[in-house]
Each structure stands twice: as C-alpha cells, then as structure tokens.
Structure 1
Amino acid sequence: MSHAIIASIYEAKLLAWSKARAEPIKVVFENIQYDPADGETYIRAFALPGDTASSTLAGDHRAFIGVYQVSIVAPAGTGKAKTNPLVVELTGLFRLYARDMKSGVTVVTMSPVEQGPGITDAATYMVPVSFEYRADTGS
C-alpha cells in the first residue's frame, strides 16, 4: 500500500509544479489515455516499485524502495530546446534527500535526478528522467 501512497506524493508534487509554472504543462499519469494537441510537449509519470524489504527479525519494519520516472514527451524534430529546460526544472523539484510525507509515510529521494537517453519515433522525442526513492515504515 505504501508504494501507492508514494506515487500519490510524487503525483501531487508534479501537479503543483505544473500549475505554478508560467506556462503550465500537461502531466499524464499511469494508465491514462492522452492525445496531445499538435506540437504539444507534455509529461508522463510512472512509479516503478521495487522489492519491499524488512530489516528486523520481528517483521515490524518495511522498506519501500523504487524508482520514479518522469518522461518528457516533445514533438519529433524539435531538438532539445523544449526538453532540456524541463530536465533542469525537474532536477530542482526532486532534490536529493528531500523528504515528503503523506498519511504517515515519509519518502526520501535517494538519488539525484538522472536524465536518460532521448528516444525518437516518428511523432515524438521522449526524454526520461528518474530517481530512486525509499520509505521506511514500522508497525
């Protein structure tokens, strides 16, 4: 259940960031159909949960570890002019060791935001950025 809470923390953070921008950008989450307007740049976000671990013999501890990925999707042929500034903004949004909390779960950004290679297809240029997260809970 805590992976769902973690995803909702990062989703809320992305939505607040988008709305606060001078030019808001559409944020699309997992399992949501979206057909962008011609020439539109938007964001797709995914929680990629990893294994849930326990570090106590009593079993009263859980470590929720995973990766959060934000994919910047721009029209093909636009180069990096639209994606690079967004990578910088997302790096500032998800600061290393930042702590965010909801429903008694505190999640920590455990790695710097890292940009992956751009992926081009006929219509889009997608740049993934991701970071590792961890949340520890006890009973």
Structure 2
Amino acid sequence: MSDKLIRSLFEGRLGTWAAARVPALPVAWENVSFTPPAGAYLRAFLLRGATTSRDLAGDNRNRVGVFQISIVCPAGNGAGAAESIAAELDALFPMNLRLTSGTFAVQQLSPLRLWSPDSSDRYLLPVDFQYRADTYPT
C-alpha cells in the first residue's frame, strides 16, 4: 500500500540522517517501544489526510498528509538547541523534495513549518511539512 511506502521513504531519510548526526539523535517511531533518553531526541508521525481519486474511472489515488517531527530537548536550557535541530531538518527536507521507490513518488508540498513549543518537563518543538503522492494502476 502506498501509505506504507510514504512512511518508509520519509522515515528512512530521517532515520539515516539522525543516526549519522554527531551526536546521533534517537528517534521514537510510531507504535514502536522507546525509552526516552535524558538528552535530545525526535518523535516522528505520519498524519494522513483523506485519500481521493481525481479521475472519473476511479483509478487514481491522491494521497495527502503531513509528516510531523517533534524535537524533544531537556527543559530549562532555552530554545536554541531545538531551533538548531529544526534548521538541520529544514535542510534535510527542502521544499519540493521528491522521494521515490521504483515508479512510486511522494513530493513535499510545503516548507518545513515550526509550531508553538510545549514545555512541561521537556521542551518540545513540533515541525512538519505537507506531502502528496498520486498513483495510477499499472
């Protein structure tokens, strides 16, 4: 299914970058057991929108949604660390990024957006971007 491919393309890119970064950033993936470290880490979510069809035969599938990454840092140290990671993610996921697997492609439709932070026991800065993938039967 294309949703699984979309997730694997975005998560694969994020996971490869996070593991290679110095220091490496652990990533909490959806529905995978995770013990939060004391330092910074990421949480990744694929937020699907409504799948539609754009042709009269009903063959096309237009999948849209949002890929969200929550940057989680220790509280009490200011916003700088999270904002630096957000800048790195902005370079990793540039506007109009197109990821492919065989004949399948998903495209980023918006620049990385930063949302209002949440701070309780940790400083959490959510960032996201919109995506779209069109498929037709072969």
Asked if TM exceeds 0.5, the reply is yes
Q: 2:135 aligns with which of 126, 131, 137?
A: 137
Structural mapping, 1:7-26, within 5 Å: 7-26=7-26
CA contact (8 A) 2:46 2:67 kept: yes
Question: For structure 2, which runs of at least 5 residues remain unmatched after alignment?
Answer: none
Deviation digits for residues 59-89 of structure 1 (CA, Å, limit 9, x no counterpart): 1111110000000011111211210110000
SS in 1 for 2:68: strand
Question: For structure 1, which runs of at least 5 residues remain unmatched after alignment?
Answer: none
Distance in 2, matches of 1:105 and 1:24, equals: 30
SS in 1 for 2:50: strand
Distance in 1, matches of 2:104 and 2:84, equals: 31
Counterpart residue number, 1:4? 4
Counterpart residue number, 1:125? 123
Counterpart residue number, 2:106? 107
TM-score (norm 2): 0.94
Amino acid at match of 1:26: P
1:20 CA displacement: 2.2
Distance in 1, matches of 2:52 and 2:102, equals: 20
**Greater than 4 Å deviation, 4+ residue runs:** none
1:103 CA displacement: 4.6
Distance in 2, matches of 1:124 and 1:10, equals: 25
CA contact (8 A) 2:19 2:26 kept: no
TM-score (norm 1): 0.94
1:3 CA displacement: 1.3
Structural mapping, 1:60-139, within 5 Å: 60-121=59-120, 123-139=121-137
Amino acid at match of 1:115: L
SS in 2 for 1:125: strand
Counterpart residue number, 1:30? 30
Structure with greater proportional strand content = 1
